[in-house]
Structure 1
Amino acid sequence: MTAAMVEDDSSSKFCPWEYLLETWRELDVPEGWRAEIDEARIFLVPPPHAHHNGLVPIYLFIDRFDTRGPVVTLFTEPSEDGTYKHSEQVPFGKPITLPEPFRTTLETAAFPV
């Protein structure tokens, strides 16, 4: 993960938030990666893939800032190349069922938007 700090540049025509947002929009992010804004920083997040110690069987990604609106994505069935064969995505407010070993339903209605 990579982070970029935003410095206050009073000579800029943008306020710090506008400058940060404009920088985020102009990023050329590698395919599969995500650029996220959190507390005045831009983070580059790698795609979900195999963990360095082996395959991660279940990867739950909670994304308040997806361009289509806040969503929860569950990735399952990892491949040897580090990608996932299956994904399920639900918007905040809809439940998502986690498979074994959790075997539970995660309610997302109370997630902050």
Structure 2
Amino acid sequence: MTETAPTAGMSRWDHLLGTWRELDVPDGWRAEIVDDDGVVLVAPPSDPHNYIAVRVTRTLNKVLPEDWDVYQTLGIQVPKIERLYMPDLVVMPEAVVLDPHRTPCPGDEAELAVEIVSRSSKDTDRKKKLWGYAHAPVPLYLIIDAWDETGPSVTLHEQPGNGRYNQATTVSFGEKITLPEPFDVDLDTSRFPRPDQWPSA
């Protein structure tokens, strides 16, 4: 998207946030700031994408405390690198979500971010958001990637520090992956749709 210049005395980040807040985003679409190009629109997810989101949400809801929730359309910001993401799923305490002075929510308050890779989001989810979530820092970043060149996989990134994640665990679709404390739950990936079950376009 094109971006107008900030008004005098306004930082670029405040200008970007203002632009993001004022956008009239079509139903089902999302607006994000994933790189230096400014605000971009992301198309609605496919049915397999939504199915995976539901499976992950069901697992998380079994173990979440009463004052945490899983959100699919919640913006989280990382001001120090001028990024704003709307994760496919994010676990956030309700006190943060309901605070009118913290919108979009601070990335460092998220407990877990989940991105479900599509054909068009491979570079963004695997590289740009990996870098961004580590800078927040979000303690756990889960990438569900049916398009992994080595075979459909799920990777959990942990221990963010110095702008990177220092531990990663990868399993193939069909295996379980453990989400550590504060979740302490196994995510079963056996029902995740494989590439031949996704739309061709």
Fold-level similarity (TM above 0.5): yes
Is residue 87 of structure 1 aligned with residue 168 of structure 2? Answer: yes
Q: Unpaired segments of 5 or more residues in structure 1? A: 4-34
Q: Which amino acid aligns with 1:49?
A: W
Letter of the 1:79 counterpart: G
Other-structure match for 2:139: 57
Correspondences of 1:27-42 after superposition (within 5 Å): 37=119, 42=120
Name the SS for the 1:49 alignment partner.
helix
Which consecutive unaligned segments of at least 5 residues does structure 2 have? 1-33, 35-39, 42-116, 195-201
- The residue type paired with residue 137 of structure 2 is L
Q: Are the counterparts in 2 of residues 49 and 78 from structure 1 also a CA contact under 8 Å?
A: no
Using the size of structure 1 for normalisation, the TM-score is 0.59
Q: Take 2:168 and 2:118, find their aligned partners in 1: how far apart are those partners? A: 20
Relative distance call for 1:73 and 1:79 in structure 2 (3 A) is: same
SS of 2:131's partner is coil
Give the structure with the higher percent helix: 2
Cα contact 1:97–1:104 (8 A) shared by 2: yes
Structure 1 pair 84–107 and aligned structure 2 pair: CA distance change class (3 A): same
Cα offset, 1:50, TM superposition: 4.4
Post-superposition Cα deviations, 1:24-60, rounded to whole Å, max 9, x if no partner, equal xxxxxxxxxxx952xxxx3340141344983110000
User: For residues 156 and 142 of structure 2, what CA distance do their matches in structure 1 show?
Assistant: 5
For this pair of structures, how many residues does the alignment match? 79
Q: Which residue of 1 aligns with 2:183?
A: 102
Quote the Cα distance in structure 1 between the aligned partners of 2:135 and 2:129.
Answer: 16
1:48 equivalent to 2:130? Answer yes
Looking at structure 1, the residues matched to 135 and 168 of structure 2 have their Cα atoms a distance apart, in angstroms, of: 22
